[in-house]
Amino acid sequence: MRHTWWWWAAAAGQAAAQKPLTKWQLRRQKQKSLKVKQGFAPSWTRSEASNTYSNDALTRDMTWNEERHCEYAAPSAERFHRRDSFVVALAYDTPDPLPTLAVLNSTAHHASTLPEFAVVTTRPRRLLGLLRHPRVARDLPPGLAQKVRVCGGFTQLLVQRPALAKLRLLSNASAVGAAAAARVRRRELLSPFNFAAFYLPHVLEAKRILYLDTDVLVQRDVVRALEHYELGGKAVAAVEDCSQKFEKYVNFQLLNRLLKRKAMGGLSRHYDFNASTCVFNRGVVLIDPERWRALGLTLAIESLVEAYVKCGARLWRGGVSQPPFLLALGGRYAKLDLRFNVRGLGRVDIGLSEFEAVNFVAPHKMLRKELRRVGTFRQKFHLFVAPLADEAFVLHFTGELKPWRLSASYAEQWTTHGAALTPTGHVSGGCELDQQLSGLMDRRIYYCRKRAPCGDARFARFNSTTSLFASACLARFPLCAAGRGVAACASLWHGYVSPAAARVADL
């Protein structure tokens, strides 16, 4: 007897129906039935709202919940939630937890009263394991584990935001064109997690949030200094950086053309900055969450990101998350003292304008005598020096020479050891300084009157400082003023990361 196709399909369906369900299928079926019985709905419509700001439109769209996704480093710690609290927040998606440990340890060490810490990461179990390890916990300030909550699941929140999801298009040349994809040289900058800090005011319950990058080191009591800092009606406070201007990041010609059509990101044709306005660094930012939400700054940043993708990554350059932050807050932020963000401590050289600023800092002329001209380059000097380091509240290791990439012993022997750099400028480890070549760098600081190179002719074949430092062991560690003396800035960082913690992190 010959059967048609529909007969065979019906027979196969009956056979599948008679097949017993697996344990996983039974469990899944039970979960579905429970959800129907309980009238399952998203977290923000149940009693466990995504956070306490349930009247916030952006918050209502979030599926992330602090109660479910955060865990204290001390299992016995009581959950602490007060709207008048001061929270130190960090966010990172790298595998190494040691930089975060240094920030937590240094902040708690100098704080007269321990603040609440909130760490958002893609690897919460790794950080929790480090903080709970007996050999690490005994070297931490008392009570720190009860104040640190580590949160995961944030990536799922970020990828649900349409603007951040569109960033992925810039990594696909077939979707946006080869030219647009080539404008973003570092693909890791397209990660939604780079925007995590802009969503913290919507998910953390606090009166003030001090956001810190994980490549900083706290040297003084930032809690006492900033807990009651008056922002003057502004949403954020940050440190102005006049070594860079807005024109370095923003394509003003395109921005003006776009704003003639319609306002975006809270900007109109008459914005509060121009090409020569000083930028501000987002590595240390004091946030008033209530004011941030009222101004809709997260939505403004998302609007700018959408415009950036739509115009083929031509609206700004020099980063992906920093420029929209500058545009959304340009001319509308309170200025912190320079000591709250002493940056550049991961750099190998210093520019002419920076050198001139150092030259006028009379108490720290011992730093000036360490400077040398970088080969034959007219306006570059080596090494990087930070005269304000001994007065700083926060040291910021911006640059490639991150202290955790260098051993503590090399940092202590900074007069004879340096950093080995690759041709692309990345750190490959420590090395013993080439004293002969290093001595050829002119100690006398003078200005070249002509555009022709000046200095030892043996350096003339190098066309960049990166190629020069990669040719031999010449890159010395940045120096910080420490009291009446001088120390490698990296050695200050290693003072807050015990050898036991370093060994545990390598396991």
Residue 417 sits at φ, ψ, to 5 deg, of -125, 155
Would you state the pLDDT for residue 351?
78
Angle at which helices 499-506 and 98-110 pack, to 10 degrees?
150
- Residue 183: exposure state from Cβ atoms within 10 A (0-12, 13-18, ≥19): middle
pTM for the model? 0.85
Angle at which helices 98-110 and 124-132 pack, to 10 degrees?
50
Specify the amino acid at residue 385: V
Residue ranges covered by each domain of the chain: 67-338, 342-498
Is the bond into 383 cis (omega within 30 degrees of 0)?
yes
In DSSP notation, 255-305 reads: HHHHHHH--BTTB-SS-S--TT-EEE-TTEEEE-HHHHHHHTHHHHHHHHH
Rounded to an integer, what distance in angstroms lies between the CA atom of residue 139 and that of residue 104?
Answer: 12
Is the distance from CB of 476 to CB of 418 less than 8 angstroms?
Answer: yes
Give the H or E element holding residue 365: helix 365-368
Assign domain 67-338 to its CATH architecture: Alpha-Beta Complex (3.90)
Would you state the pLDDT for residue 185?
75
Nearest to residue 350, comparing CAs of 484, 465, 474, 215? 465
Would you state the pLDDT for residue 269?
76
Would you state the pLDDT for residue 265?
78
Is the distance from CB of 73 to CB of 97 less than 8 angstroms?
Answer: no
Rounded to an integer, what distance in angstroms lies between the CA atom of residue 234 and that of residue 240?
Answer: 15
Structure tokens at 77: 């710690």
**CA distance readout (Å), 255 to 288, 305, 311, 321:** 28, 13, 10, 17
Residue 407, classed as helix, strand or coil, is coil
Nearest to residue 237, comparing CAs of 293, 287, 292, 298? 287
**CA distance readout (Å), 409 to 60, 412, 492, 495:** 51, 5, 12, 12
Classify 178 in phi/psi space as left (phi over 0), alpha (psi -120 to 50) or beta.
alpha
Residue 350, classed as helix, strand or coil, is strand
Structure tokens at 415: 């007069």
Classify 39 in phi/psi space as left (phi over 0), alpha (psi -120 to 50) or beta.
left
Vertex 401: Cα angle to 400 and 403 (nearest 5): 130
In DSSP notation, 222-265 reads: HHHHHTT---TT-SEEEEEEEEEEGGGTB-HHHHHHHHHH--BT
Would you state the pLDDT for residue 114?
93
Give the end-to-end CA distance of the chain in Å, rounded to a whole number: 68
Residue 68 sits at φ, ψ, to 5 deg, of -90, -30
Would you state the pLDDT for residue 81?
60
Rounded to an integer, what distance in angstroms lies between the CA atom of residue 44 and that of residue 237?
Answer: 30
What is the pLDDT tens value at each position of the chain, 507 positions in all? Answer: 555 655 555 555 555 555 566 766 666 665 555 443 333 333 333 334 444 455 566 766 666 777 788 899 988 777 666 667 899 999 999 999 999 999 999 999 999 999 999 999 999 999 999 999 999 999 999 999 999 999 998 888 888 888 988 888 887 776 777 777 778 877 778 888 999 999 999 888 899 999 999 999 999 999 999 999 999 999 999 999 888 899 999 999 999 999 988 888 778 777 888 899 999 989 999 999 999 999 999 999 999 999 999 898 899 988 889 999 999 998 899 999 999 999 989 988 887 777 666 555 555 667 777 777 777 676 777 888 887 888 899 999 998 899 999 889 999 998 899 999 998 888 888 899 988 877 777 655 444 555 555 666 667 777 778 888 888 898 889 988 877 778 899 999 999 999 999 999 887
Is the distance from CB of 326 to CB of 315 less than 8 angstroms?
Answer: no
Q: Which residues contact 457 (CB under 8 A, 6 or more apart)?
A: 376
Would you state the pLDDT for residue 284?
96
Would you state the pLDDT for residue 199?
92
Percent helix / strand / coil, the chain, rounded to 5: 40, 15, 40
Give the H or E element holding residue 491: helix 489-494
Would you state the pLDDT for residue 36?
35
Rounded to an integer, what distance in angstroms lies between the CA atom of residue 253 and that of residue 250?
Answer: 9
